[in-house]
Amino acid sequence: MFRLDNKTALITGGGSGIGEAVARLFAARGAHVFIADVAADAALRVAGDLIAQDYAAEPLELDVADETQVRDALDQIAKMGRLDLLVNNAGVSHVGNILETSLDDWERVLRVNARGAFLCAREAVRIMVQQQPQGGVIVNMASVAAQIAVDRRLPYSASKGAILAMTRSIAIDFVGQGIRCNAICPGTVHTPFVEGYLKRSFPGQEDAVRQTLHARQPIGRMGKPEEIAAAALYLASDEAAFITGSALVIDGGWTAK
């Protein structure tokens, strides 16, 4: 079960954190993975590790918010055969309520999280509609912040809400073309992304705030990237063939409170 043999996958933000865990798991389950990241060295590191294990992997430097780069990257992948799987994972964050959020802050977060996911999904759908009857699968990384209020996360929450709405629209609009589109809504996951946020936003208070992040999930800890990757594998696999337009919440019980 849960094999991805002979499938080609593009994972954005694949150079670290959740994206890296997804790339490693997909490759181990048989997929040919394209590891896209705005940080070329990070993509190269992950791809190099996978190639050394005899997995099929290629690094790809990509700014997901750049329309030309996205179109060129996906065209390049399509010319090599197919694009079966897209994991829209690249993202950035900001700490602040509406009064603490500048227009630049708002546009920076929406540019990567919402615009970037839109551009990658649009170009993926262009390819997948030509691959009927199998089409393809899109997995969008949303967040519990798309479903509940999280203190001082205004632009991030808005961007993830947009991703959740886009997921449902794509799912319904293209269900007849063999394309499935689902979202994952993680709680707080312990990644380099989170550690960077702690360092930038809470200098000198990292340990205390880290413990707060662990504690706000009823299960008592933050999630692990590998746990989110396992969900992405399920949604990408043929075993999830009856699932589209759904949001899979993985949050240690946070939204159940």
Digit-by-digit pLDDT tens for the chain (257 residues) are 999 999 999 999 999 999 999 999 999 999 999 999 999 999 999 999 999 999 999 999 999 999 999 999 999 999 989 999 999 999 999 999 999 999 999 999 999 999 999 999 999 999 999 998 889 999 999 999 999 999 999 999 999 999 999 999 999 999 999 999 999 999 999 998 899 889 888 899 999 999 999 999 999 999 999 999 999 999 999 999 999 999 999 999 999 98
Domain boundaries, the chain: 8-187+225-249, 190-222
Element housing 185 (H / E): strand 179-186
User: Would you state the pLDDT for residue 50?
Assistant: 98
- Which CATH superfamily, name and number, covers 8-187+225-249? NAD(P)-binding Rossmann-like Domain (3.40.50.720)
Element housing 33 (H / E): strand 32-37
- Name the phi and psi angles at 129, rounded to 5: -65, -20
- Measured between alpha carbons, how far is 157 from 87 in angstroms, rounded to an integer? 19
Q: What is the DSSP string of 91-157?
A: -----B-GGG--HHHHHHHHIIIIIHHHHHHHHHHHHHTTSTTT-EEEEEE--GGGTS--TTBHHHH
Query: What is the residue whose two structure tokens read 């705030």?
Result: 209
**Are the C-beta atoms of 9 and 26 separated by less than 8 Å?**
yes
**Are the C-beta atoms of 85 and 134 separated by less than 8 Å?**
no
- Measured between alpha carbons, how far is 105 from 93 in angstroms, rounded to an integer? 9
User: Would you state the pLDDT for residue 216?
Assistant: 94
User: Would you state the pLDDT for residue 201?
Assistant: 84
- Measured between alpha carbons, how far is 42 from 139 in angstroms, rounded to an integer? 22
- Supply angle C-alpha 231, 93, 40, rounded to 5: 75
User: Would you state the pLDDT for residue 193?
Assistant: 86
- Measured between alpha carbons, how far is 240 from 31 in angstroms, rounded to an integer? 16
* 246's tokens: 């759904």
Catalytic center residues: 156
Q: CA Rg, the chain, in Å? A: 17
Question: What is the pTM (predicted TM-score) of this model?
Answer: 0.96
**Are the C-beta atoms of 203 and 158 separated by less than 8 Å?**
no
User: Would you state the pLDDT for residue 133?
Assistant: 87
Burial of 151 (0-12, 13-18, 19+ CB in 10 A): exposed
The Cα-based distances of 102 to 1, 105, 175 in angstroms read 47, 5, 39
User: Would you state the pLDDT for residue 15?
Assistant: 98
Residue 43's contacts (CB-CB under 8 Å, 6 or more residues apart) are: 14, 15, 35, 36, 37, 59, 60, 61
